[in-house]
Structure 1
Amino acid sequence: MEHTEERPYANPEAAARKLLELAANVAAVQDGRIYIERINALVMIGLEGSGREFGAGLKYAIEGGWLSKHESGTYVKLTPPGEDLLPRT
């Protein structure tokens, strides 16, 4: 029997919270837009996350009103409820 490590972002809420943290630390372009591929790269390469984890986390954050995604799918924006979830510094 093989044992596998639990993936830290397999839970959509945990993935969504991490996406918020990453989005808050990515330089936004005009009007607070954050290119989605910048966050995706951080998840896939930096955190060794999967596409499913990224997609589930993104969906959770959007449905929760934490992020809004442009209809083109090119960028996201942090929303006030999402900003409220970020740790205060």
Structure 2
Amino acid sequence: MSVPRLWTTNSQELDPFRPRHITDAMKFVQDRPFANPEAAARKLLALVLQQDIDVGQFTNIGTMNRAFLDTGGSELEYVAGCACAIESQWFKIDPSGFRIILLDAGAEQA
């Protein structure tokens, strides 16, 4: 009867300083769709425009946050996307922090 080997006695495999193949230590991760802040900002703008609001009107920031997270974005990507959209003057966040107000430049991006 043969017993499977649970360890190795090969001295080359035990050497911690031996050069390893690239596939030994690498794990491949899928690219994040909103890792680029501009891509995240465009997705946020698309979500705002789905609410059928006009320039100067507002939508709830919590609704946009939840919708962005449901599409696969992360919290950090959401914050970076908001900062990029505000810098591009597509929308602004009112002083209370609870509403996103659509601006002219954002409506023109549609």
* TM-score tier (shorter): 0.7 to 0.9
Q: AA paired with 2:85?
A: A
TM-score, normalising length: structure 1? 0.87
Q: Secondary structure at the match of 2:28?
A: coil
Identity %: 36
Aligned residue number for residue 50 of structure 1: 74
Higher relative contact order (CA 8 A, sep 6+): 1
Q: AA paired with 1:57?
A: G
Higher helix proportion, which one? 1
Residue segments in structure 1 that go unaligned for 5+ positions in a row: none
Equivalent residues in 2 for 1:1-89, closer than 5 Å = 1-26=26-51, 28=53, 32-45=57-70, 47-86=71-110
How many residue pairs match? The answer is 83
Name segments (4+ residues, structure 1) moved above 3 Å: none
RMSD: 1.2
Give distance in 2, aligned partners of 1:72 and 1:8: 30
